[in-house]
Structure 1
């Protein structure tokens, strides 16, 4: 069995590595080809070119590399056509992945699978119809996504979200974190101003002002700030004058395993969190950490999103649990006084979020088969010869 698998960024590499491990478990003779990062390479992939070439975000970043990326799309599609694999699995990165799939479908009947459904339930629903022209089968991370994909004409299986398979911190991990950073038995507020430079630049001052207000009434709290390696130095600079004796977890000065262990410990020991909007809400839910979500957009971006949005919340915990218990301070409402007020409400009644977080993890597949293995079973079950 030959599988061509393609990922364009670290999150896709994690999904791809777990999926490949699942396929190898179910079909030991499987042969992998494609593009991926270290986790996929650990499963036997020899990447056609470095995955980092595809990890480009934003119009101004993409434009200078447009012709190079266009060549890579053509090269990748031709490699697939030459190989004639049993299935092509593209993972997220739709701007690259779906262009490759289009070229493959125009020249062959090779089966195409896309891992991570587009969020058509949130905005731009016609993306599913466009995708259905080049994709046969979708692997969905969220339980409510299959009907949207099936309505457009694609097969779709909910395979579980990778967050449910992530390890949680041990008591020893937590004790080490607290001892190393002099936290003692203090209550902890986790601050997560984003994993991209643009997010940190946009949110750090707002978060800092909100914490100044909130901590003036809650002086017992210590602030802990996990970082991603590529923004760690920026976070240190932007939070140097924050209140609460902030502890910045310097992931750029540790190996990946140590940084991940420390981050898990911080999530587990926190009493509440203030976080930028994104999948981090699911990581907090997995650790049962009550949260407030905040995000600041440009005025124009917010107005465009507001006019196109199909949902009344952006937080995945709210969506998956079908509740609205996670407070959001978004766009014009992303103001220090609003954030501080929401943090006060959550600290006064943290149990209000407990059931929603539990339900979210359950609905995402916690306690069941690992998502990578579920995804592998779904791929194999839909193949014509299976």
Structure 2
């Protein structure tokens, strides 16, 4: 037996895996004897986690896309609950993946184990009414965006802004010359970053239109070099999908090489999400594009309550970068946008100035790095539980199904 605390972690996608690995490092820095169990990807595995099952089993997005996977996701949920019941960890931390995480948090409520949700469900963007179902799901919510703290506190939830992890990503530290030397590229070859997403269910929707776009771009920019940074989870999917492209892309799975590619890039096309903030930190002019199942899109359009999809636009409170979504996610429009991003100095300067402004607002109060701030909040909850285990809600306080 050991008195060392055990924290059970769940990450459901590539960005959560990165957050989880940094959180594990930060927790160990503050409490060296801490132990971990749960579900994560390659980054958390490198940090010492033995994953209960492959994280890729949870990396699904879309209202329609998830339907064929409901049964397997249900089995994985049962496995996770059984694992927590058997281990009885001192605390459970769920990272992103709200569709899975919130169900897990509800299922383990009777165990009276402190629970933390790291990364808020984006109910401020759509289906805000769901926030009424959150009380009782966790003891603490750690949020990444400054306005989220006020939003959730307004609804009576204990939310803490810990800063955005992109600030620790080192996305702005890449070496352009190293990338060009490594791949034998001339100094003048235009590098285009293509980021189709980290989930196996989303990348196949963007890759065909990216391939068709490159046919058009090749005519105007014969030396163009497409680079696709992806997580190892979808690397094979991307290789197969791009095998017949007219321009063979460079597929990058290693973080340092991805940042080197950012430094060498003239422009980027990316799905919405954390990738926009990484590119902003690196100062890469970009456009956001996305395509999902038409039924999913139709439902989403009725529910979304924010004016923009791109995180950089939401934070800037204006259309800082173009958004080419659904019907506008076409090869000709994407090619035209890329040419403009690569050749218009005023557009480039406008975006970079906007990026610098919005990134300053992502620092949490104080000087702690985001992962360190999150670790402090988690350990504070852990200490409070040890001092007063009766402080957790009773079984009768469970919220209704979300």
- In the superposition, the TM-score normalised over structure 1's length comes to 0.84
What residue is the counterpart of 2:393 in the other structure? none
What per-residue deviation string (whole Å, max 9, x for no partner) do you get for residues 161-220 of structure 1? 22211224767x432321232211123222233333443332223223333334534445
What residue is the counterpart of 2:348 in the other structure? 350
Q: CA RMSD in A?
A: 3.0
Match of 2:179 among 163, 177, 180: 177
Pairing 1:62–2:69 present: yes
What residue is the counterpart of 1:294 in the other structure? 289
Shift of 1:379: 2.6
Pairing 1:74–2:81 present: yes
Match of 1:145 among 143, 148, 153: 148
Asked whether the equivalents of residues 307 and 314 of structure 2 are also in contact (C-alpha less than 8 Å), the reply is no
After superposition, where does 1:1-386 map in structure 2 within 5 Å?
Answer: 2-9=5-12, 10-37=14-41, 39-40=43-44, 49-52=52-55, 55=58, 57=60, 58-66=65-73, 68-79=75-86, 82-83=88-89, 85=90, 87-108=91-112, 110-168=113-171, 173-186=175-188, 187-219=190-222, 221-240=224-243, 242=245, 245-249=247-251, 251=253, 259-347=254-342, 348=344, 349-365=347-363, 368-381=367-380, 384=384
Shift of 1:239: 3.7
Distance 1:311 1:381, change over 3 A: same
Distance 1:361 1:79, change over 3 A: farther
Mapped partners of 1:43, 1:225: distance in 2: 25
SS of 1:145's partner is helix
SS of 2:128's partner is coil
Mapped partners of 1:335, 1:42: distance in 2: 39
* Greater mean deviation of Cα atoms: 118-127 or 205-214: 205-214
Distance 1:40 1:230, change over 3 A: closer
Mapped partners of 1:26, 1:163: distance in 2: 21
What per-residue deviation string (whole Å, max 9, x for no partner) do you get for residues 326-352 of structure 1? 101101121223223322332312112
Shift of 1:33: 4.9
Pairs aligned (count): 372
Asked whether the equivalents of residues 166 and 274 of structure 2 are also in contact (C-alpha less than 8 Å), the reply is no
Distance 1:368 1:185, change over 3 A: farther
SS of 1:271's partner is strand
Shift of 1:228: 3.5
Distance 1:222 1:77, change over 3 A: closer
What residue is the counterpart of 1:254 in the other structure? none
Mapped partners of 1:227, 1:42: distance in 2: 18
Distance 1:29 1:12, change over 3 A: same
Asked whether the equivalents of residues 239 and 251 of structure 2 are also in contact (C-alpha less than 8 Å), the reply is no
Mind listing any 5+ residue stretches in structure 2 that lack a counterpart?
389-402
Asked whether the equivalents of residues 199 and 234 of structure 2 are also in contact (C-alpha less than 8 Å), the reply is yes
Shift of 1:305: 0.8
SS of 1:144's partner is helix
Shift of 1:122: 1.1
Relative contact order, CA 8 A, sep 6+: which one is greater?
A: 2
Asked whether the equivalents of residues 2 and 33 of structure 1 are also in contact (C-alpha less than 8 Å), the reply is no
SS of 2:131's partner is helix
Mind listing any 5+ residue stretches in structure 1 that lack a counterpart?
252-258
Mapped partners of 1:125, 1:302: distance in 2: 18
Mapped partners of 1:20, 1:290: distance in 2: 33
Mapped partners of 1:68, 1:357: distance in 2: 42
Distance 1:45 1:217, change over 3 A: closer
Asked whether the equivalents of residues 118 and 127 of structure 1 are also in contact (C-alpha less than 8 Å), the reply is no
Shift of 1:375: 0.5
Asked whether the equivalents of residues 13 and 38 of structure 1 are also in contact (C-alpha less than 8 Å), the reply is yes
What per-residue deviation string (whole Å, max 9, x for no partner) do you get for residues 267-305 of structure 1? 111011122333211111121100011112232221111
* Greater mean deviation of Cα atoms: 57-66 or 285-294: 57-66
